[in-house]
Each structure stands twice: as structure tokens, then as C-alpha cells.
């Protein structure tokens, strides 16, 4: 039986997002986990996503489909749902349409900065990230609240002129990610130490820095993306396992001696807390994301990634598991819920 939603909190939340299943990324995983948690408390989170519209492949990300829809179409869907709160999760065309509709009708909404697209675009185009920030400042400026996952991201947003930020952390499904359970059978016989990368295999994730590490042991890559084929050809000594999820992914974390997180552009990095919850320490650069998550007891940060790996391999797996278990989706859902701007029935009646 569902718990009853509090009368002073939104019970019907409409989330508009350009990222949704079957995509596998941090945005989708966060939204699905938070929705599950909120539904268990009696709230209703309704997602308006690209699968409801005609879509086109995103340039350089063909597996991501961008929805093509007029603001009035998206707006009618929102109005028909009679939400208590509206959240725009991404900065793509579907959320642009919802943003336009909300502003025309004076409806407040919240947004989130899930992905550091200015840096991603810089990685793909060779242009400086500062050229892309004006769009994101413009997109988020009318939001009541802009949710950000770490203090360093909030600082970066403030420097970019986005000040109305609040914290929205991330969690781990502790029913799956823990030290208890099997280790991935394809990794148990590998020459150690076993170093693991988990995530999208793309240029902006800096996977090459992991694969070129001058460190003994075996490198394992979990994930897929546009750079996988080329990297697999260049680094045949590495083991590429493709996309894993749930208990199979947890078994890969358990079989690794360290998770290596080479990204320089992530806003959080769910894989880091999942790995730590499984008892696996983390090696990373001291940049946004890792600097807010990885402590001295559970990993090592260094501008030399090989040095970070050497340090991480000395960390206590039990300490990692205890620390990782402190990241819960229950707390994440509470933070999300508390940030929302409650709409009145008068607001929605006028909007309709």
C-alpha cells in the first residue's frame, strides 16, 4: 500500500525530459530511481519524454532521439495532467517547448543541471566551453530553482551567472550494490590488479586516459558508445564487456580492485558511489564530481591517474562499502521533492 502524500507537498509532479529509456545514462537512472521512491510515498511522477513524439537523432549522439514538438502540444499535455509541480530535467528541444509554454502562462518550474554540456561540446568541437555557457544561462535563468548534485557544480553555475541553485544528491540501490554477492565470472581469472571503467564510451568521458594507463594489471571496460569500436581495436589487451546493469554490474564492481573514473567533465558520477557501495575504491582526477564524492579513506585523487590508481589500491574495501551505503535514493527523492515549486489550482486553471 502506498503512503499518503503530504498535503503541503506536490502529489502529482510532471517531469519533462529529453533523456529517457531506452537510453542508459545518469539522467535516466536518476529520474527512474527518484520516481520509484516518490511513488512509494504516494506521490505521482508523470514523465513527458521523447517517445511520445516524432524524433530525430541527436548530432554526434545518434542513439539519443530529440523530440520535435510545438510548445502548444507539450503545454496541452502538461495542462491536461493538472500537475502540482513542473520540473524540466534537461536543456533539449522538448524542455525548451515546455519552458516557453510555462513562461507564456506565468507558471513556475524548476530545472536541473545534470550534464556539463558546455564541457562536452568543447570536447567534441574543439571550441572553448565559454562559448556554450550563454545558452545554458539563458535556459535556466527563469527557473525557480536549479538543482545541482554537488557543491562544486553549484559554484560553477554561480560563476556562469546561475545563482538560484539547490542541492540534489544521488543514491545507490543498496539491494543490488553491496559487497555481498557473486563476482563477475569473466573477471575473476584476470591478471590483477583488475582496473574497471564503467560508463559511456565516448570522447568526453576521457576513456583513453584509462586505457593508456601505465600500470600493471588488467583493464576492463563496461559500457558502450561511439568510441567503443575504435578503442577496442586500439587496445585489444583490454576486456570490453559492453553494457551491464543491476546485479551483473554489481558483480563487475565486486570483481574489480579499483574503479578508475577518468572523466574531467562529469557533474557527479553515479558509478563511483555504486562501486564504493560494493567495496571497490575509486581512482580519479581531482576535478568536479570526484572532489565532492571521493574521500581519502575510500579512494585517491591525483592529476596523475596512475598515481591515483596506486593510492586507491591501498584503501580498505570495508570502509568503501560503509561510505557508499550512505548515498540513498530516499534522501535524493526528499531533496528533489523539497525543491519543487508548488502550483495552485488557480495557476493551472489560468494556464488551461
- CATH placement of domain 12-171+330-351: 3.40.50.2000
How far is C-alpha 13 from the chain's CA centre?
A: 20
pLDDT at residue 74 tops 90: yes
- The Cα 115–Cα 267 span in angstroms is 6
Question: Mean pLDDT for the chain?
Answer: 92
pLDDT of residue 68: 83
Written as nine digits, the cell of 158 is 554561480
Q: Is the dihedral of CA 253, 256, 258, 260 positive or negative?
A: negative
- The Cα 199–Cα 333 span in angstroms is 23
Written as nine digits, the cell of 7 is 498535503
State how far the alpha carbon of 283 is from the alpha carbons of 243, 293, 298, 307, in Å: 21, 11, 9, 9
Nearest residue to 196 via CA among 280, 264, 270: 280
What is the third-level CATH fold of 194-327? Rossmann fold (3.40.50)
- The Cα 32–Cα 167 span in angstroms is 18
Would you say the CATH fold of 194-327 matches that of 12-171+330-351? yes
pLDDT at residue 6 tops 60: no
Instruction: Provide the residue ranges of all domains of the chain, joining segments of one domain with +.
Output: 12-171+330-351, 194-327
pLDDT in tens, 147-169: 999 999 999 999 999 999 999 99
DSSP state of 328: B
C-alpha angle 117-169-260 in degrees, rounded to nearest 5: 65
Grouping H, G, I as helix, E, B as strand and the rest as coil, residue 172 is strand
Written as nine digits, the cell of 56 is 530525430
pLDDT at residue 350 tops 70: no
pLDDT in tens, 179-223: 999 999 999 999 999 999 999 999 989 999 999 999 999 999 999
- List, in sequence order, every residue forming a beta bridge with 196; answer none if it has no partner: 220, 259
Quote the pTM value.
0.90
pLDDT at residue 351 tops 70: no
pLDDT of residue 86: 98
The confidence band for 349, taking pLDDT boundaries of 50, 70 and 90, is low
Grouping H, G, I as helix, E, B as strand and the rest as coil, residue 324 is helix
The confidence band for 115, taking pLDDT boundaries of 50, 70 and 90, is confident
The confidence band for 122, taking pLDDT boundaries of 50, 70 and 90, is confident
C-alpha angle 149-151-155 in degrees, rounded to nearest 5: 110
pLDDT of residue 8: 65
- The Cα 151–Cα 209 span in angstroms is 26
State how far the alpha carbon of 96 is from the alpha carbons of 83, 199, 264, 327, in Å: 18, 27, 27, 31
Amino acid at each position: 500500500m502506498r503512503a499518503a502524500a503530504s498535503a503541503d507537498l506536490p502529489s502529482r509532479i510532471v517531469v519533462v525530459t529529453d533523456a529517457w529509456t531506452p537510453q542508459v545514462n545518469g539522467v535516466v537512472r536518476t529520474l527512474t530511481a527518484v520516481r520509484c521512491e516518490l511513488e512509494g510515498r504516494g506521490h505521482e511522477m508523470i514523465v513527458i519524454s521523447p517517445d511520445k513524439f516524432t524524433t530525430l537523432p541527436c548530432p554526434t549522439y545518434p542513439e539519443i532521439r530529440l523530440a520535435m514538438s510545438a510548445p502548444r502540444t507539450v503545454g496541452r499535455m502538461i495542462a491536461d495532467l493538472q500537475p502540482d509541480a513542473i520540473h524540466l530535467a534537461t536543456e533539449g528541444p522538448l524542455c525548451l517547448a515546455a519552458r516557453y509554454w510555462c513562461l507564456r502562462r506565468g507558471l513556475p518550474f524548476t530545472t536541473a543541471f545534470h550534464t556539463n554540456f558546455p564541457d562536452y561540446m568543447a570536447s567534441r568541437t574543439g571550441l572553448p566551453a565559454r562559448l556554450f555557457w550563454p545558452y545554458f544561462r539563458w535556459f535556466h535563468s527563469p527557473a525557480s530553482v536549479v538543482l545541482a548534485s554537488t557543491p562544486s557544480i553549484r559554484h560553477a553555475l554561480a560563476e556562469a551567472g546561475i545563482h538560484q541553485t539547490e542541492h540534489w544528491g544521488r543514491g545507490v540501490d543498496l539491494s543490488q550494490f553491496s559487497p555481498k554477492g557473486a563476482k563477475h565470472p569473466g573477471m575473476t581469472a584476470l591478471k590483477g590488479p583488475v582496473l574497471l571503467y564503467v560508463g559511456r564510451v565516448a570522447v568526453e568521458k576521457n576513456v583513453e586516459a584509462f586505457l593508456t594507463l601505465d600500470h600493471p594489471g588488467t583493464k576492463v571496460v563496461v559500457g558502450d558508445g561511439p568510441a567503443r569500436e575504435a578503442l577496442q581495436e586500439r587496445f585489444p589487451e583490454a576486456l570490453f564487456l559492453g553494457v551491464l546493469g543491476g546485479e551483473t554490474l554489481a558483480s563487475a564492481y565486486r570483481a574489480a580492485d579499483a574503479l578508475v573514473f577518468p572523466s574531467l567533465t562529469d557533474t557527479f558520477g553515479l558509478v563511483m558511489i555504486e562501486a564504493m557501495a560494493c567495496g571497490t575504491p575509486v581512482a580519479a582526477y581531482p576535478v568536479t564530481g570526484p572532489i565532492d564524492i571521493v574521500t581519502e579513506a575510500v579512494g585517491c585523487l591525483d592529476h596523475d591517474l596512475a598515481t591515483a590508481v596506486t593510492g586507491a589500491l591501498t584503501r580498505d574495501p570495508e570502509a568503501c562499502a560503509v561510505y557508499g551505503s550512505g548515498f540513498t535514493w530516499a534522501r535524493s527523492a526528499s531533496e528533489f521533492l523539497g525543491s519543487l515549486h508548488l502550483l495552485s489550482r488557480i495557476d493551472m486553471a489560468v494556464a488551461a
